[in-house]
Structure 1
Amino acid sequence: MNTAEQTLFLLKTRGPQTAQQLAALLDLTSMGARRQLESWQDKGMVTYEDVADKPGRPARRWLLTEAGHARFPDRHAELTLQLIDQVRTLFGDAGLEKLISSREAASERDYRQHMAGSRTLQERVQALVQARSGEGYMAELEQQEDGSLLLIENHCPICAAARQCQKFCRSELDVFQRVLGPDCSVGRVEHLLGGARRCVYVIKTL
């Protein structure tokens, strides 16, 4: 991945950043980072907002535009939407529910295979993160000071399908709870479809 692509990737995975923050992450000068950002701005991939979060001069934070987010595309989005419409037309909502349930069962089997041999909750979550990353979710794990774990998904490769039928999102949350086990709780605290830039799940030991 070249420096230009890394710039977009960091804005995707870390959210809005100043040129100085990006410079440190990319091992560039501030001027070098600004040149990368301005080049992407000329192409319509990034924009900026000036945020006065402390006294003095506002901080300029750079973020992806809709076109920038689209460089990380949904998997076969158009075909997926057509298939959802066709299933609903041919078999009704009951047929669509069966489709979602079938996908749910297949995902659950796959995640359980990834977790084979995982003993602790953190090991299970890490295995789930690896599985989700393999599916294109750009997933990562963060441990909080209170001991809870955050499963962060910086991209949704089925976003088009989820917008068309939000039961896909409900399905994923249910699967996470089942595969991680009854000794923890799983809740969604950030939701892409709710306007957030990513999906985040908090996982706590019971």
Structure 2
Amino acid sequence: MKNILPENEKALWILKTRGPQPLTVIAEALQVTVEGARFQLLKLASDGLVEASNVSKGRGRPQQIWSLTAKGHSRFPDSHAELTVRLLNTIRDTLGTDALDTVIENSKKAGLEKYLKAVSQEHTLEDRINKLVEARDAEGYMASWEKDGDDYMLIENHCPICVAAQVCQGFCSAELESFRQIIGEEAEVKREDHLLSGARRCAYRISPKREQ
């Protein structure tokens, strides 16, 4: 996903992708002075997009940590949220939960087909993960991956269907199952962080299976 924010709101992107951060880290990421970063953050705070809190770490003065507010999170796109929720509720209320389950299953199949096509030419686990991440990032999930020992972490800093997932968490279950099918039998996929459970992001641990 491309950074669509104007220059004076780049701090929002940093806090979205990295989580709450101290002023010095934000200034370094913005490549500006600490005072320059403070000015930008204070302006964003006056607009209700960010907030600061004091965090004590042992002895010494508390450290000021900046984070996004709910309004700040809403600056990132949630694909046709209101319309999607209205349609899901209409399906559930008029056709029943079985019909809604069918919709979710068909959505899962369409997504799975797309992802399998994206990874079809890749022969290593790492290459398949990379292609999956590219596809998810293009859909607005702010996706990336990193190594963690022998494991891989697939990280999604944003959920463009978050409002729909709050209405029906079957979308989240279908997502996890799709990842497991795409990765295949050579690795185990577990969700470690879940945005709907209060985490700031969704994160999946992909653990290669050891030969017996």
Q: TM-score interval w.r.t. the shorter chain?
A: over 0.9
Measured on the aligned residues, the alpha-carbon RMSD in Å equals 1.0
Which amino acid in structure 2 is aligned with residue 53 of structure 1? K
2:25 is aligned with 1:21: yes
1:62 to 59, 66, 87: 66
List aligned pairs for 1:110-149, cutoff 5 A: 110-144=114-148, 146-149=149-152
Identical residues among aligned pairs (%): 43
SS at match of 1:150: strand
Q: Counterparts of 2:94 and 2:127 in 1: how far apart (Å)?
A: 42
Q: Counterparts of 1:136 and 1:53 in 2: how far apart (Å)?
A: 35
Equivalent in the alignment of 1:205: 208
Q: 1:49 to 1:178 in 2, by over 3 A?
A: same
| Number of positions where the alignment pairs a residue of Structure 1 with one of Structure 2 | 205
2:112 to 108, 111, 132: 108
2:193 is aligned with 1:190: yes
2:171 is aligned with 1:173: no
Q: Normalised by the size of structure 1, how large is the TM-score?
A: 0.97
Q: Counterparts of 2:56 and 2:119 in 1: how far apart (Å)?
A: 45
8 Å CA contact retained: 1:74, 1:157? yes
Equivalent in the alignment of 1:71: 75
Q: Displacement of 1:172 after TM fit?
A: 0.2
2:44 is aligned with 1:40: yes
SS at match of 1:149: strand
Q: Displacement of 1:147 after TM fit?
A: 1.3
Q: Counterparts of 2:125 and 2:18 in 1: how far apart (Å)?
A: 25
8 Å CA contact retained: 2:116, 2:182? yes
Q: Normalised by the size of structure 2, how large is the TM-score?
A: 0.94
Q: Which runs of 5+ in 2 are unaligned?
A: none
Q: Counterparts of 1:152 and 1:100 in 2: how far apart (Å)?
A: 23
Q: Counterparts of 1:2 and 1:77 in 2: how far apart (Å)?
A: 23
Which amino acid in structure 1 is aligned with residue 139 of structure 2? E
Q: Counterparts of 1:16 and 1:128 in 2: how far apart (Å)?
A: 27
2:90 is aligned with 1:86: yes
Q: Which runs of 5+ in 1 are unaligned?
A: none
Which amino acid in structure 2 is aligned with residue 193 of structure 1? L
